[in-house]
Structure 1
Amino acid sequence: MAISNPYQSYQQNSVNTASAGDLTLMLYNGCLKFLHLAKNAIKENDIPTRNTNIQKSQNIIKELMVTLNMDIPISQNLMSLYDYMNRQLMKANIENDVTIIEEVESLVTEFRDTWKEAIVLNRQKQHGQGGQA
């Protein structure tokens, strides 16, 4: 089925041609977007929108959990943190609590920023632009 909207076409092409690192970055950014929308929904007392956006954020976190390579030692720590964030989002949804969402948002932002820096460093290394003494 052809995509008639040029923006949708661009988005689809971005996902189809992105590296694994870029896809992970997209997941973090998407999660932050949905957390922001959930916070706004709470402020506007829009329960269905809050619920939908928290669930979208949880789905992204679950996807991040599934993609962890558990052979790498740090993955155990990441799994625990992702699990914590997922449980906190459940609590935020039940309690209609912006502060819990803000806590998760802060964690996701740290993950995203660290991941973005890792991508930049990896690209510099691949292209021989690493800091040589």
Structure 2
Amino acid sequence: MSRRPLGDHWLQEYSHFREMGFSDEAIAARLGITLDGLSRRFARMNNRPSQLVAEPEPVEYPEPGSESALAEQSIEVAAEVICRIREEDTHGLWADLSRMTPNCLLSLVFTLAAMVPDDRTVGQLLAWTEPLAAAS
């Protein structure tokens, strides 16, 4: 089997093939690598040292019934994040997100998750990223 270097998006390709029902052996063949090579890629991914060094800060859980208020507070931020991630360089967005308090960030994550349609595959949801991958 010819070996070809896999791009940074190999895991996304793997996920797409998995959604289509391909076995790992068939996916490895489509990616142009051996099944053992695919297994080694996952082993390397799983053996990476954690990037979190510090203990996470304690989390303040929302009061029961306050989910809608938290979502309302995050809707505008969520809409801004969606626009920025699609239209701008993500470094500035990453920096802004890293400065958010843990509670604001968790609220944002829940709001963004609630905004995602649940009747689409992961591939459909990430289809907008394909032009970005082709341009890089």
TM-score, normalised via structure 1 length? 0.26
Q: Which has the higher helix share?
A: 1
Q: Which has the larger radius of gyration?
A: 2
TM-score, normalised via structure 2 length? 0.25
